[in-house]
Structure 1
Amino acid sequence: MSEHVTACIDGSGYASAVCDYGTWASQRLEAPLTFLHVLDNHPPPDEGDLSGSIGLGSREHLLEELASLDEKRARLAQEQGRLMLEAARDRAIAQGAESPRARQRNGELVETLADLEGEIRLLVLGKRGEAAHKASEHLGSNLERVVRALHRPILMVPEGFKTPERVMIAFDGSKTTCKGIETLAASPLLKGLTCHVVTVGAEIADVQAQLDWAVRTLETAGVDAHGEIRAGEVESTLHDYQREHDIDLLVMGAYGHSRIRHLLVGSTTTDMLRSAETPLLLLR
């Protein structure tokens, strides 16, 4: 079974960027592209079960009306999803994608992705879904659940697309980030891009040796790589480096063993994901 770049499309403002980054990744990886739209059949939270408030005389008639409305809403949502998928395919084809596939599934997003995990090489999704609050401080609840549930690389994208040219890898010497370096070295994703490998910590011999190994591994694979150790608080230090060097793609391991680990398993996870203004590639 071939593994696809799978881009999750919904009605949010992130859909166009998801489409564009999915197309970019598919072309870089030379992997087939699939657009996925998941129809959640649960009613919106502000439209609960109204049957309890229906009077006795009209109860049966109104229940029939509600059932009819639910059917119409489901059909409309399905048609909207089909049109979004069709638009995404057309957009990707216009950018040079070859035969992108469109899939529509009923169910809950995280469960659906878990079912399809064996077919996913890279998952692309927006920072927030269409049901999330629009405030920049609000992070889509599905995102963290997907990060925890899926054992595939995940590319979280902002609302606008920019072709990545300068990449920063947050490296802490953990087993996960070392495996991530080896995975990236073996992948065509970063070929031709400038890659900064950044460690936040003390500039001691062991840390320097680990960083040198990471840079050397990437360089041997033909990646233009540079390494740097910086002291400070992890999140702010990484963001400062990102701004200084105009980084347009951030790469992190989803789990590590040092302070970077807390970015993705504790409350700081949400902070890092929330404050990201560039695409963030999470490696598992």
Structure 2
Amino acid sequence: MKAVLATDLSAASEATIETETCLECLGRIGIEEIHLVTVIPSNVHAGMPGMDFEGRRERALERYRNVIEGAGFDVESHVVRGTPHRRIRGIAETIGASMTIVGSRGKSPLENRVIGSTARNLARTSETPLLVNRIERGVDEPEIVRKHLFQRMLYATDFSENADRAFDAFSYLRHATEEATLVHVETPKDPGLPEGEDPRQRLEELTDQLEEWGIDTRIELRQGDPADEILDVEAEYEPTTTLVGSRGHSRLRRLLLGSVSEDIVARAKGNVLLVPPRVA
């Protein structure tokens, strides 16, 4: 399996790359090849006096490359120019990546209402599973908030096709997962649940599958606003990563905020693994 690891060469990105437990978790789920990607924004001009942007980034990536190769991965580096989320997505699709990884320091309540971060834009548009690796906010030398990426998973489902696709990720996550919490938030009309079907029974069927793989599993049934309830469960159990499926968006929908998956990406305290719809 291949992964794209996007970095802006900040202290937050360095925390993602140099945390041994994170790299170990990636190895456990079958990642063998990592593509380091850094993007020079298109509004930064190569001809600015004294500014060798490509050279400086290539030298910085070489240090990261040595760390990741030392952990046993094959590594390729990419220094590209353009809009960050578009170039990261393009490289992931070109190499056939199984996962894209991007660090995020999270947002303040006001900033949550603003479109613009690479992580949020990738959450809207990525066609490969996106791991948003949460980094400490407001410190000079940030660290990963929850280092064992897939050790304790929170899986949120509305029983839709997209949620089922996210659950399929356990086929490889199970090699690094010890515990899982399955949560379903009941709404007046569950999109993926036939009328009269018991959601607890569906969750118990998923539990049986995970426990066959040796994963200790618990169930949470909630009522209320889906994003709020899922985030309450996250606060209670403190999973290392929350796993959720994305419905995808129309061209117009990409300009708006408000979906459950986007709320979770923006507001979760820990890592988030977002699995997009199957490409037609």
Taking structure 2 as the reference length, what is the TM-score of the superposition? 0.75
135-144 or 85-94: which moved more?
135-144
1:196 aligned partner: 181
**Structure 1 residue corresponding to 2:14, chosen from 9, 13, 16:** 16
CA contact (8 A) 1:8 1:18 kept: no
Deviation at 1:208, TM superposition (A): 1.8
Task: Give yes or no for the alignment of 1:28 onto 2:25.
Answer: no
- Shifted more, 156-165 versus 192-201: the winner is 156-165
| Comparing 245-254 and 220-229, the one that deviates more | 220-229
The answer to whether the aligner puts 1:242 opposite 2:234 as a matched pair is yes
Counterpart amino acid of residue 15 in structure 2? A
Could you tell me how far 1:6 is from its partner in structure 2?
1.0
Distance 1:101 1:26, change over 3 A: farther
Show the counterpart of 2:43: 42
Equivalent of 1:150 in 123, 126, 135 = 126
Counterpart of 1:4? 2
Larger radius of gyration: 1
The CA deviation at 1:201 is 1.4
CA contact (8 A) 2:152 2:177 kept: no
Identity %: 18
Partner of 2:140: none
1:253 paired to 2:249 = no
Aligned to 2:192: none
SS at match of 1:69: coil
Once the two structures are TM-superposed, the CA of residue 237 in structure 1 deviates from its matched residue by 1.7
Shift of 1:137: 4.7
Q: Which amino acid aligns with 1:150?
A: S
Structure 2 equivalent of residue 57 of structure 1: none
Residues 1:100 and 2:75 are matched in the alignment: yes
| Separation in 1, partners of 2:62, 2:108 | 29
Tell me if the contact between 1:25 and 1:189 (Cα under 8 Å) persists in the aligned partners.
Answer: no
Residues 238, 270 of structure 2: 8 Å contact kept: no
2:23 aligned partner, one-letter code: T
Q: Is the 8 A contact 2:34 2:76 kept in 1?
A: yes
Q: 2:48 — aligned with what?
A: 69
Quick check: 200-209 or 25-34, which moved more? 200-209
Gaps in structure 1 of 5+ consecutive residues: 45-66, 257-261
Q: Whole-Å Cα distance in 2 between the matches of residues 90 and 40 of structure 1?
A: 25
TM-aligned CA distance change 1:17 to 1:154, over 3 Å: farther
Shift of 1:177: 0.8
- Report how far residue 205 of structure 1 moved: 4.3
Aligned to 1:124: 101
Q: Quick one: distance in 2 between partners of 1:137 and 1:87? A: 36
Q: Give the superposed CA RMSD.
A: 3.0
Tell me, in whole angstroms, the C-alpha distance in 2 between the residues paired with 1:22 and 1:102.
19
